[in-house]
Structure 1
Amino acid sequence: MTTLQEKPPSSFPWPPVLYAVAILSALSIQAWVYPLPWLPGTVGGMAFMAGLLLIAAAVFIDVRTFAELRRHKTTILPTKAASRLVTSGPFSFSRNPIYLSNTMLTVGLGLALGNAWLLPAAFLAAYAVTKLAIEGEEKHLARKFGTAWHHYAKKVRRWL
């Protein structure tokens, strides 16, 4: 039987589902419902390059975050209770580096693919993740780690 402190923050993996829905919705809207024009010429090429850089940065942050969680022997899964409060590595600049990188990936895809729908989709997904996952995860961390969590939360911003 799990104690209150061991109870996971969520029973459903909201973040990956929300970002997947956002990406698939934006791609579908662009392809079949209401295609939006994209930036022409050099500006479009620069947006493409910026998108590739954002995608690369997102992958880098994810890899570093996964390694940091593994190093501290705690879970990456949003449906599992945290066993450690990780504040180093990517967690030193964002309390939610995986969700930040998912947002960056979605924006990067929008820029690289020339799909303007992915830009608002990224921010809608980030808002939904905040409401459906992050707020619950933060309550879980506050219950489990108390003062250490509160000091960390004062020092490091939720997103950036």
Structure 2
Amino acid sequence: MNAYRAKPLNFPWPPLLYGAAILVALALGRIHPIGVVHSNGWAPWIAGSSFVILAVSLDIWAMKTLIDRKTTVMPHRGSAHLVTCGPFRLTRNPIYLGYTFLMVGVGLIMLNPWFFVTAIATTTIMTAFAVRCEERHLHSRFGFEFERYCRHTSRWL
């Protein structure tokens, strides 16, 4: 058993990173607000609410799929099974994608462009540090089966 097989991450960083990004966006919105001009007051709210609903639905669907397949939801625990069904057919990271959609939705509802900036930054950081570690873990654990899954399913969208 190699070092990547034990567990993908030492700590569940992804939820904390997204939580920190939300706090940074809120703080930047107060410290240095960016004026947003919009013609219809309801359009950003409706679009944002749609993103939030999509995000929550995607996260619940992904977590339910992982639980149904008897593998861990927590990103710092080793995966028992390679899950390729449910939302994992569409993206290799549906929970993180849901967190990103949540940030975009809240940014639209609050008319705070900092949410978009922090969402892009967090997605970049997540890919570099968490997602690649998780992928190495899955590759070492599932080998060719994971390679085939990667060829047919994109990392984000």
TM-score, with length taken from structure 2: 0.96
Identity of counterpart residues, as a percentage?
Answer: 37
Poorly superposed stretches of 4+, deviation over 4 Å: none
Q: Which whole-Å CA distance do the structure 2 matches of 1:145 and 1:6 have between them? A: 9
Q: How many residues are treated as equivalent by the alignment?
A: 156
TM-score, with length taken from structure 1: 0.94
Structure 2 residue aligned with 1:27: 26
Deviation track 1:110-140 (CA, whole Å, cap 9, x = no partner) reads: 0011111101111110111111100000000
The alpha carbon displacement at 1:72 in A equals 0.3
Structure 2 residue aligned with 1:155: 152
Query: Please, which runs of 5 or more residues in structure 1 have no aligned partner?
Result: none
Alignment-mate amino acid for residue 16 of structure 1: P
Alignment-mate amino acid for residue 28 of structure 2: I
Query: Please, which runs of 5 or more residues in structure 2 have no aligned partner?
Result: none
Q: Which whole-Å CA distance do the structure 2 matches of 1:138 and 1:85 have between them? A: 11
Contact persistence 1:22–1:125 (CA under 8 A): yes
The alpha carbon displacement at 1:91 in A equals 0.0
Q: Which whole-Å CA distance do the structure 1 matches of 2:47 and 2:73 have between them? A: 28
Q: Which whole-Å CA distance do the structure 2 matches of 1:147 and 1:61 have between them? A: 27
Q: Which whole-Å CA distance do the structure 2 matches of 1:35 and 1:59 have between them? A: 27
RMSD of aligned residue pairs (Cα, Å): 1.1
Contact persistence 1:39–1:114 (CA under 8 A): no
- Does residue 1:134 correspond to 2:131, yes or no? yes
